[in-house]
Structure 1
Amino acid sequence: MEYLYDRIASELEQQIAQGVLRVGDKLPSLRIICERYRVSQSTALQAYYQLEAKSLIESRPRSGYFVHRSPKKHLSLPGVSTPGQVSGGALHEVISRVYKDMGRDGAIPLSLGVPSLELLPVAKLNKGLLKATRSLKGSGLEYEQVQGNENLRRQVARFYNNQGQPLAGEDLVVTSGCMDALAMSLMAVTQRGDTIAVESPVYFGNLQLAQSLGLQVIELPTHPQTGIEIDALKAVLNKNIKAVVLVSNFNNPLGSLMPDEHKKEVVGLIQYHGVPLIEDDLYGEVYFGTERPRSCRSFDDSGLVLWCSSVSKTLAPGYRVGWVAPGKFKEEVLRLKLYHSISATTITQEVIAGFLETGRYAHHLRGLRHTLQANALRYSRAIAEYFPGDTKVSRPQGGFMLWVEMNEKVNAVTLYDRAMRQGISIAPGNMFSLQDQYRNCMRLSYGLPWTANIEDALRRLGNLII
């Protein structure tokens, strides 16, 4: 989908490439852009931010925007993944090394799986904690009801209803983060020894969870922009698959976004076969377009979709507040939650409810999305400039992950060791599969604020790829 600011930026970029606009030329003012394209100032700014992030233009105080330099090379997209039909396998031990090294003093964590604390409203969350201790019965020391804080469930439902995604507070069960929601969902619809289908590559935490539950995993071909290949899913749904697990919006690590028609088709398939779909929609709020992408759940009228999300990647990772709308499996999920944890943390649920109720969450998301979109462009531009010319990189429309595919001769684990010696942490690609694949790939997070140090780290990382 092309948005207005994409079209404006593309037209201006083409003029720069053709020499119509030359280095040093002043671009039209925002007012002129607004009048010419009949758009708002925020849309015009978004177009200029895209060009600025690519280093095509620069802002000069009280003077406007000027052409900075001509476009550099553009890297190709990674190919569609081609995992084999072998389920099972073991995760690479590098996962534990990456986690251990991530907290090393002075290391630049490009492997980071959450946005930097500098992008989160820490002071406002702290104020929310103080308010919650005063307002909650027992200052938040009492157990919350098993289904979760009633106000939180109501506010989550209101938030998504305002985005055109029907949801009621009674549909939701609050969990300790999204991983807890996924765990409860998998336990509700599978038994040890069952087989599930997932995208490939896929977040290693989902694979670890499946293994811990004794599940076999079939990894399916996945496109870096449109997500799981529908024909591959069709083929395995006839093979005694007990559940499908999809990261529908901005898959980690690929950043892929399933088009609405694909989501609708997937829901039709799982309804036809009677196979539950566990939808991990953790990154759906971090979209770069004009509106949030729909969930698979929004196309479901059967109750077979268990929709999972949280604020762990957008607001408060350590609060561990998530939720699941388990559809027809609600009673089973509630039973499992009672057995395994009784309730989620009382006080943090109240803080998140307050953020939603006052509109602070929506306000924070607008700023976060803007920062991450600019980061995605800046990081991609640096990779194009500093990495070998045969490098391929994803082009996410949201989230905060880049998937980088290097020459087949490159070993990402060896690269990880070299990079760590220079204080740079990356996530090697074979962390994201149970099969022996993606050895020449890595995931990089653009969840860190863009600085000269980050650009230098990407330059040094590019020099290490041999």
Structure 2
Amino acid sequence: MGKDFLYRVLAQNIADKIYNGVLKANERLPSVRMLSKEHGISMNTAKRVFVALEALSLVYSKPQSGYFVNALNQHKLQLPQMPQMGLMKDGAEPDELISSVYANMGRHDLTLFSIGVPSGKLLPLAKLKKEILMATRELNGGGAEYESLQGNLKLRRMIAVRSMAWGGTLTAEDVITTNGCMHALSLCLMALTKPGDTIALESPCYPGILQLVLSLGLKVIELTCDPILGIDTHSLERLLPQIDACLLVPNFNTPLGYCMPDKNKMEVVRLLAKYKVPLIEDDTYGDIYFGRERPKCCKTFDEEGNVLWCGSVSKTLAPGYRVGWVAAGKYKDQILRLKLIHALSSTALIHEAVGNFLKTGRYDHHLHQLRKTLMENYQRYANVIAEFFPEGTRISRPQGGLALWVELPKSIDTIKLYNYGLKMNMSIAPGRMFTLQNQFQNCMRLCLGLPWTDELRFALVQLGNLAKMMLQVEQSDMTTQINEF
């Protein structure tokens, strides 16, 4: 039995015992050394078992004490169901809905479950202000001058250094800075496609990506996703003759939060290289993992320069700073030409400040606390959902990122739930935003990046009670019920 297969079997055996209640909440598990001895495996293989369980939030570790079973109610909740997807033919973009939801950005009178960024209360804002002041002293002209077309050198060097964490071998010369990750994705799509081409996306998919590809006149194939493993590589291979480019979020895709296994990433890279289909990889969420290790990227396995690896700090450090980048492989010159036309220069002051923040190690310190907070929030959300949401509710099991995908009973329309929720000062992201097909009407995405408070818990309980109410009363009575709630 191969080591890779063996650790998965052992992890699944322990997971089954947790799901079945054989192993109880907060019960101590065998040590890494004991597991190694009992099963005749190496210490490294034994550690991989616990890393896999930790990534699924089934266990947690205590320094000097070992691993324990998580006291989580989400194990009572089944995973979401993923319907089949196909080529988008009717241009059914949920434009009005998306505009309505994102119009709520910046509103402090709402509990914003709908906006997928960390709250400013979870960010090191005071330290970032100091970095900006320092950057004005260090840059020529105080940061008022244009920087080079390729971007701030300090930032590019730090992105290259950090690529070693996921097995990358980037240099500063491989990296081009952009004004956020969406700018990077836009440049990549413009470089690789023309109107009428077909692009493959994961589904459900981030609404901004859907709007971007349609604005460029592209056709879309939505790829069915397993809520734990992501896209099926066999299905992808069957579709590749129809595809001109592929855009994936393999690490903690929003809204499902899965992390594509390394062997699947490797196979995706191999298949796309074989069919000469470029891969745009959005790795915005790669640094906010719930396990012990930063996951590898598709770019890790790229030997032909066919993967355009994109990232940013918008979901981890400063959404409003608009700091992003792309390592475009063999398409670098095309991306630079487009940046010259569409941006010319990034914001030197901000990019210098972020580059220095990464260099000093403050970023990693911040990430450690942010990951801990997001994972704890996932556990708390799951507990409230298990207790207060309608029977039959399903949730994703994110292995990182900022999103929780919630599937309610079929009869609940989350667009209506969104409208009713606004009257109670909360905003959700209805599932219909995340697809161009007629599906996900009973689903929603909730943002985990909010500080956990009694007020937040109460809002989540209200949301669950509201969903229950929608099952019990007719539409004509709903307004009256809401007012009395």
Q: Name the SS for the 2:151 alignment partner.
A: coil
**What TM-score, normalized by structure 2, do the two folds share?**
0.83
Q: Name the SS for the 1:233 alignment partner.
A: helix
Q: Which amino acid aligns with 2:380?
A: R
User: CA 1:69/1:79 → structure 2, altered by over 3 Å: closer, same or farther?
Assistant: closer
Residue 242 of structure 1 and its aligned partner are, at CA, apart by 1.0
Relative to structure 2, which stretch is displaced further, 73-82 or 297-306?
73-82
**Given the alignment, which residue of 317, 320, 337 partners 1:318?**
320
The 8 Å contact of residues 111 and 426 in structure 1, kept in 2 or not, is answered as yes
**Given the alignment, which residue of 343, 363, 366 partners 1:364?**
366
Q: Please, what is the CA RMSD of the aligned residues?
A: 3.1
Residue 96 of structure 1 is matched in structure 2 by 99
Residue 176 of structure 1 and its aligned partner are, at CA, apart by 0.3
Q: Which amino acid aligns with 2:360?
A: T
The 8 Å contact of residues 81 and 201 in structure 1, kept in 2 or not, is answered as no
Q: Which amino acid aligns with 1:276?
A: P
**Given the alignment, which residue of 184, 187, 191 partners 1:188?**
191
Q: Which amino acid aligns with 1:177?
A: G
Distance 2:88 2:101 in 1: 26
1:298-309 matches, cutoff 5 A: 298-309=300-311
Distance 1:248 1:100 in 2: 28
The 8 Å contact of residues 200 and 221 in structure 1, kept in 2 or not, is answered as yes
Residue 63 of structure 1 is matched in structure 2 by none
Residue 421 of structure 2 is matched in structure 1 by 419
Residue 482 of structure 2 is matched in structure 1 by none
Query: Does structure 1 residue 279 correspond to structure 2 residue 275?
Result: no
Q: Which amino acid aligns with 1:274?
A: K
Question: Where does structure 1 differ by over 4 angstroms across 4 or more consecutive aligned residues?
Answer: 9-15, 17-21, 32-39, 66-73
Cα-to-partner distance string for 1:398-420 (whole Å, 9 max, x where unaligned):
00101111111110100111111
Residue 421 of structure 1 and its aligned partner are, at CA, apart by 0.8
User: CA 1:169/1:19 → structure 2, altered by over 3 Å: closer, same or farther?
Assistant: closer
Q: Which amino acid aligns with 2:261?
A: P
Distance 1:341 1:68 in 2: 48
1:371-386 matches, cutoff 5 A: 371-386=373-388
Q: Name the SS for the 1:101 alignment partner.
A: coil
The 8 Å contact of residues 72 and 385 in structure 1, kept in 2 or not, is answered as no
Residue 122 of structure 2 is matched in structure 1 by 119
User: CA 1:454/1:13 → structure 2, altered by over 3 Å: closer, same or farther?
Assistant: farther
Runs of at least 5 residues in structure 1 that lack an aligned partner in the other structure: 60-65
Residue 112 of structure 1 and its aligned partner are, at CA, apart by 1.7
Residue 145 of structure 1 is matched in structure 2 by 148
Residue 336 of structure 1 is matched in structure 2 by 338
**Given the alignment, which residue of 191, 199, 204 partners 1:201?**
204
Q: Name the SS for the 2:103 alignment partner.
A: helix
| Number of residue pairs matched by the alignment | 439
Residue 222 of structure 1 and its aligned partner are, at CA, apart by 0.9
1:63-462 matches, cutoff 5 A: 74-87=76-89, 89-92=91-94, 93-239=96-242, 241-462=243-464
Distance 2:69 2:183 in 1: 49
User: CA 1:18/1:194 → structure 2, altered by over 3 Å: closer, same or farther?
Assistant: closer
Q: Which amino acid aligns with 2:120?
A: L
The 8 Å contact of residues 290 and 375 in structure 2, kept in 1 or not, is answered as yes
Residue 232 of structure 1 and its aligned partner are, at CA, apart by 2.0
Distance 2:448 2:433 in 1: 18
User: CA 1:37/1:368 → structure 2, altered by over 3 Å: closer, same or farther?
Assistant: farther
Cα-to-partner distance string for 1:116-141 (whole Å, 9 max, x where unaligned):
11111000000000000011110000
User: CA 1:148/1:77 → structure 2, altered by over 3 Å: closer, same or farther?
Assistant: same
The 8 Å contact of residues 87 and 218 in structure 1, kept in 2 or not, is answered as no
Residue 39 of structure 2 is matched in structure 1 by none
Q: Which amino acid aligns with 2:203?
A: S
User: CA 1:73/1:274 → structure 2, altered by over 3 Å: closer, same or farther?
Assistant: closer
Q: Which amino acid aligns with 1:176?
A: N
Residue 109 of structure 1 and its aligned partner are, at CA, apart by 0.4
Cα-to-partner distance string for 1:242-269 (whole Å, 9 max, x where unaligned):
1000011011111121111111111111
Distance 1:430 1:301 in 2: 37
User: CA 1:449/1:274 → structure 2, altered by over 3 Å: closer, same or farther?
Assistant: same
User: CA 1:299/1:278 → structure 2, altered by over 3 Å: closer, same or farther?
Assistant: same
Q: Name the SS for the 2:310 alignment partner.
A: strand
Residue 73 of structure 1 and its aligned partner are, at CA, apart by 6.7
Distance 1:365 1:449 in 2: 15
Residue 151 of structure 1 and its aligned partner are, at CA, apart by 1.4
The 8 Å contact of residues 166 and 297 in structure 2, kept in 1 or not, is answered as no
Distance 2:346 2:371 in 1: 28
Distance 1:346 1:279 in 2: 25
Q: Name the SS for the 2:364 alignment partner.
A: helix
% identity of equivalent residues: 49
Residue 229 of structure 1 and its aligned partner are, at CA, apart by 1.8
Q: Name the SS for the 1:118 alignment partner.
A: helix
User: CA 1:158/1:73 → structure 2, altered by over 3 Å: closer, same or farther?
Assistant: closer
Distance 1:432 1:67 in 2: 33
Residue 163 of structure 1 and its aligned partner are, at CA, apart by 4.3
User: CA 1:105/1:291 → structure 2, altered by over 3 Å: closer, same or farther?
Assistant: closer
User: CA 1:428/1:11 → structure 2, altered by over 3 Å: closer, same or farther?
Assistant: closer
User: CA 1:444/1:14 → structure 2, altered by over 3 Å: closer, same or farther?
Assistant: closer
Residue 90 of structure 1 and its aligned partner are, at CA, apart by 3.1
The 8 Å contact of residues 375 and 450 in structure 1, kept in 2 or not, is answered as yes
The 8 Å contact of residues 411 and 442 in structure 2, kept in 1 or not, is answered as yes
Distance 1:67 1:161 in 2: 32
Q: Name the SS for the 1:237 alignment partner.
A: helix
**What TM-score, normalized by structure 1, do the two folds share?**
0.87
1:3-14 matches, cutoff 5 A: none
Residue 34 of structure 1 and its aligned partner are, at CA, apart by 9.9
